Structure 1
Amino acid sequence: MKTGVDRGITNLATTSDGDNHSGRRLGRYRRWQARKRAELQARQTRSARQLLKKRARREARHAAHINHKIAKTVVAVAQRTDRGIALEELGGIRERVTVPRDQRARQSSWPFHQLGAFIAYKAKRAGVPFIEVDPAYTSQRCPRCGHTGRANRRTRDHFHCRRCGLAGPADHVAGANIATRGAMAWVFVNMPDPAPA
C-alpha cells in the first residue's frame, strides 16, 4: 500500500490517510507577509528595498523549514507503517493549472518543487520506496467506482461522485487516487526483465 500525497492550494500536502499539512495557519502567515511586503514596496526608498530583500530571505527560510517538517512527517509515517510514498509529478504546474485571481500569488509563491525534493531525499535516506505519478484527473476521479468527470468536483475543496455518490474533501480523494496510481506504477517499475529468448 502506498501513501499518496497531493500538493494543493488549501493545504500544502494531503496524504491518502487524510492527514492535512500546514493549511490555515500558514495561510494567515503568508497573507500577513504579503501585506507587509506591499507596504514596503509602496515606500520606494532604499531602506525599504533592503528590508524587502531581508524579508524575502526570511520567508525562504521559513518555507524551507515548513517543507522539511512536512517531508519528515510524511516519510516517518510511511516508514512506521511499512509503506511507500507516491507523489504527484508537478512539473509545469503553473503553466497547466488555472486558479482564481485571488489565489494566483499563493500558488506561485510556495516552493512545491522543494517540498517534493525534500520528500524524495528523506525517503531515499530512510529506505522508503518513492515514486512520482501523473496527477492528471486525480481530483476528478472517484476512487470507489472509477467515474471521472469535471462535475464530480464542482468546487475546489469538495468532491462528490455523480455515479456512486461518494463524497468528501477533494484533497483526500486526490491523495487516494495518487496512492492507487503509485501502487500500480510500482508493480511495473519492479517487474523483472523478461528472460532472453
Structure 2
Amino acid sequence: MVGVSKIAVCLKLTPSPEQATVLGSTLRALNDHATRVAQVAHEQGVTRNYDLRKHTYQPLREAGVGSQAAQHVIKRVCDAYRTRRSNLHHGNHGPKGSARRERIESTPITFRPDSAHPYDQRNLSFALDARTISLWTFQGRLKDVPFACSPDQVKTLAECKRGEADLLRRDGVWFLAVTVDVPDTPQIEPDSFLGVDLGIVNIATTSDGQVLAGRRINRYRRRQLRLRQKLQAKGTRPAKRLLRKRRRREARHAKDTNHRISKRIVAEAERTGRGISLEDLTGIRARVRQRRPQRVTLHSWSFHQLGAFITYKAKRAGVPVVFVDPAHSSRECAECSYTHKANRISQASFICRGCGVACHADRNASRVLARRGQDVWDAGRKSHVPPDHP
C-alpha cells in the first residue's frame, strides 16, 4: 500500500482593491469572533470542541458567521488551547509556580487580526483553468479572486486530493496555503546509506565528502545579525520600519537554502540507489549547553525544517530515510569504531587514537551516521521469529 505525504501549496492571491477590502474585513471579523470564543472557553473552562460548540455556535450564527466558518472558528480555539496545554505540560512557559506560567494560565487566548483562518471544500472552490478561487465572506460569496502559482503547483492541485486551506495576509500580501495529499513513490531497496551530518559551521556534510552551505551562509547570518543590532540600537521610526520590512528576510533565505540542500541530497541518494541516514535531533536545543555568544548561532538555523524537507522529498522520490542516534558520532572513528573524546582535536580535525586515521571531522561523522543508518535498516528488516527446525 502506497502512503501519502501532506504538503502545503502556497498560492499568492492577487485580488482587486474591492476584493482585498472584503477579504480584509472578513479575516478581521473572524479573528475577532475567535477571540470572543476563546474568552468564553476560558471563563467556562470548556475547551473541547463538542462542549464549546454548545456555548458559542448559535451566537456565531446569529452574528452572521457562516455554518462552516463558525465550526472552523470553534475548532481553531480548541486547537489553540490544546497547544497551550501541551506547552505548559512540557515546561515551555516556565516551571509550576513561576510568574510567567501563572500569567499565561490566567489569560485567555487572543488572535491577531491577520491570523490565518481555515477554509475547506464547503466554503472554498477552485477554477484552476482560470486561476481563480471563490470563497465565503461576510458580504456573500466572493467570486473570481485571481491567484498566481507555478505550473507544477497547478498540476499538484489538479491531481492530488485537497484538504483545508488557510487564508492569511502577510505584510499586506494575500496568500492561500492549501494542504494536499501527495502519493508517495514506492521505496527502493537501498544498496547502502548516505550519511548526512548537520552542523553550525557546515550546515550539512555528506558521507561522500560534499559540504553544503558552509562559510557563505554563515557570513550571511552574521551580516544580518549585525544589521539587526544596529537598527535596534538606533530605535528611530525609520529604523523600526526597516526592521519590520526585513524581519522575514533571513527566514525566507534559510528556507530557500534548506530547499536547495535537501534537493541535492535526495537527488544524490536517488541517483546512487542509496537511503539517507539523518541525525535524530529531537530536543537538541534543550540538551545542548552553549556559551552566550554561541546560542544565537545554534538557534538561528532550522535543522528541523531541513530534516522535514529531506524527508518529504525523499518520500516523493522513493528514497528511504532513517533517523539514528547522533550520540558520540563526532568522537567515533568511521574506520575502526574506536570512540574517545580526544579523537576530535578541533572543530574541523579528527585523528583516531586507535588506528591513526586522520580526516575532516564532519566527513568522519557523516560516515559514522551512514553506518548507523545501515544498522538501523538491517535491524528493522531482521525477523525475530525463530526458524522452524525439521
| Aligned residue number for residue 247 of structure 2 | 56
- What percentage of aligned pairs have identical amino acids? 54
1:162 counterpart = 2:344:
no
Unaligned 5+ runs, structure 2? 1-191
Cα deviation per residue 1:68-91 (whole Å; 9 max; x = unaligned)? 000000000000000000000111
- Relative to 1, partners in 2 of residues 1:189 and 1:54: Cα closer, same or farther, differing over 3 Å? farther
In structure 1, what is the Cα distance between the partners aligned to 2:280 and 2:301? Answer: 16
Deviation at 1:6, TM superposition (A): 0.5
Unaligned 5+ runs, structure 1? none
Quick check: 110-119 or 91-100, which moved more? 91-100
| Aligned residue number for residue 101 of structure 2 | none
| Aligned residue number for residue 7 of structure 1 | 198
Counterpart amino acid of 2:197? D
> Structure 1 length as normaliser, TM-score?
0.94
Q: Report 1 or 2 for greater relative contact order, CA contacts < 8 Å, sequence distance ≥ 6.
A: 1
Counterpart amino acid of 1:97? V
In structure 2, what is the Cα distance between the partners aligned to 1:100 and 1:126? Answer: 40
Counterpart amino acid of 2:253? H
1:86 counterpart = 2:277:
yes
Q: CA RMSD in A?
A: 1.8
Cα deviation per residue 1:14-44 (whole Å; 9 max; x = unaligned)? 0011100000111111111111111111022
> Structure 2 length as normaliser, TM-score?
0.48
- Relative to 1, partners in 2 of residues 1:50 and 1:192: Cα closer, same or farther, differing over 3 Å? farther
| Secondary structure of residue in 2 paired with 1:145 | coil
1:191 counterpart = 2:382:
yes
In structure 1, what is the Cα distance between the partners aligned to 2:387 and 2:241? Answer: 65
**Higher strand residue share:** 2
1:40 counterpart = 2:231:
yes
| Aligned residue number for residue 262 of structure 2 | 71
1:134 counterpart = 2:290:
no
Cα deviation per residue 1:94-141 (whole Å; 9 max; x = unaligned)? 222234544321111001110000001100110001010000000100
* Structure with bigger gyration radius: 2
| Secondary structure of residue in 1 paired with 2:258 | helix
| Secondary structure of residue in 2 paired with 1:76 | helix
Hey, which bits of structure 1, 4+ residues long, moved more than 4 A?
Answer: none
Aligned length, in residue pairs: 197
